[in-house]
Amino acid sequence: MIPTVVLAQAGATNDFAEMVAEGLSLGSIYALLGMGLVIIFKATRVLNFAHGALTAAGAYLIAAFASIYDIPGRWIPGVAPWFSWTLSVILALIAAAFLGVLLERAFIRPMVGEEMFAVALVTLGVDIMLRGITNDFIGTDPRPLGDPFGTQILDLGWVTVAYSEVAQFFTAVVLVAGVALFFRSRTGIAMRATAFDQEAARAQGINVGRIFSIAWAIGAVLATVAGLFISIFPRRSAGVDTSTAFFVFRAFPVVIVGGLDSVVGAILGGFMIGFAESAAVSYLQFDFLGAGFGGIVPYIVMLIVLIVRPYGIFGTEEIRRV
């Protein structure tokens, strides 16, 4: 067993290494959120303000499957906890994908061809509604996600990282690779074609409606994975609660920095903002600013990028008026 220790105070380990580890961890969450937003935006030209609600709903689904109702673990006794937890997460991800498709069919599909602004406001409405429903399920107390990582910490001497952070980073890498591979598949090419020219894509016989659904399913799955890592140690160890949905507001700067229509931008933007935030937490400690300054760093970075490159670092210039 690797010994569990309390998070070392600054100074006990290499400050810089700690900062990098924290940046990678935060960055991978931001990258997951940003990728979901960008995929939905690219394929459907919808800026999805409901991403926060999707994150919270996804995290709640994991909590429901894994710890509240213990599905499918309750039917298969004698299985290792981590294995049944993984199964629960997979089920929750499938449920989240269906939730994404459902939302797209019910609220976004009728808006096809409408102003981008109008659709964005519809997603804002969806966000409020879905958040209300999710919060009703969550209740007043946070719901733990029952993850097997717990508060275990990997202590390398010069740096300490939580097991969950290691898992998170590798999950993010796998999902980024997965998304990259998906875009080379038949459906992925069709999605990129749809993103580039919807009418021409329809003329090729591409079922644009199905592409929209797939994009929302992927977005919801990525939001759920992000929701999982937001709701466990070391972020919010208590679990998913009624304020989880608001975490996503920090991901909007990510996609604006990276460019709304660039997946690469979302990934790099995610890590950029993750590092900026963690650097601010480590090094920017002014009395007059008080604690929690790190929380506003994403927005400062966003403001600077908006001034220099309004369409994002990797974004296409045409969409600057968004």
Partner 1 sequence: MLEVANLEVVYNDVVLVLRGISLEVPDGSIVALLGANGAGKTTTLRAIGGLLDVHEGDVTKGHVTFDGADITELDPSDRVKLGISQVLEGRRIFGELTVDENLAAGAYVNRDRKATSAAYDQVMTLFPRLAERRKATAGYLSGGEQQMLAIGRALMQSPKLLVLDEPSLGLAPLLVQQVRDIIVDVNKAGVSILLIEQNANMALSIADYGYIMETGKVVMDGDPQKLLKDEDVQEFYLGLHGDEGERKSFRDVKHYKRRKRWLS
Q: Which residues bind partner 1 (CB under 8 A)?
A: 113, 186, 189-190, 192-193, 196-207
Closest to partner 1 by CB, 109 vs 192, is 192
Q: CB of 220: closest distance to partner 1 in angstroms?
A: 24
Closest to partner 1 by CB, 105 vs 202, is 202
Closest to partner 1 by CB, 115 vs 136, is 115
Closest to partner 1 by CB, 38 vs 61, is 38
The answer to whether the CB of 40 falls within 8 A of the CB of 48 is yes
Q: CB of 207: closest distance to partner 1 in angstroms?
A: 5
Closest to partner 1 by CB, 88 vs 198, is 198
3-class secondary structure, 33: helix
Q: CB of 268: closest distance to partner 1 in angstroms?
A: 18
CA distances from 271 to 25, 28, 302, 305 (A): 9, 6, 13, 15
CA distance 257 to 313: 6
The answer to whether the CB of 48 falls within 8 A of the CB of 219 is yes
The answer to whether the CB of 153 falls within 8 A of the CB of 163 is yes
Judge residue 94's burial from the number of C-beta atoms within 10 Å of its C-beta, 0-12 exposed, 13-18 middle, 19 or more buried.
middle
Q: CB of 114: closest distance to partner 1 in angstroms?
A: 12
Q: CB of 112: closest distance to partner 1 in angstroms?
A: 8
Q: CB of 316: closest distance to partner 1 in angstroms?
A: 9
DSSP 53: H
Distance of CA 28 to the CA centre of its chain: 8
Closest to partner 1 by CB, 207 vs 285, is 207
The answer to whether the CB of 66 falls within 8 A of the CB of 312 is no
Longest dimension (CA), the chain: 63
Q: CB of 179: closest distance to partner 1 in angstroms?
A: 16
Question: What letters, b where the CB count within 10 A reaches 16 and e where it falls short, cover 103-115?
Answer: bbeebbeebeeee
Q: How many CB atoms lie within 10 A of CB 211?
A: 22
Closest to partner 1 by CB, 211 vs 273, is 211
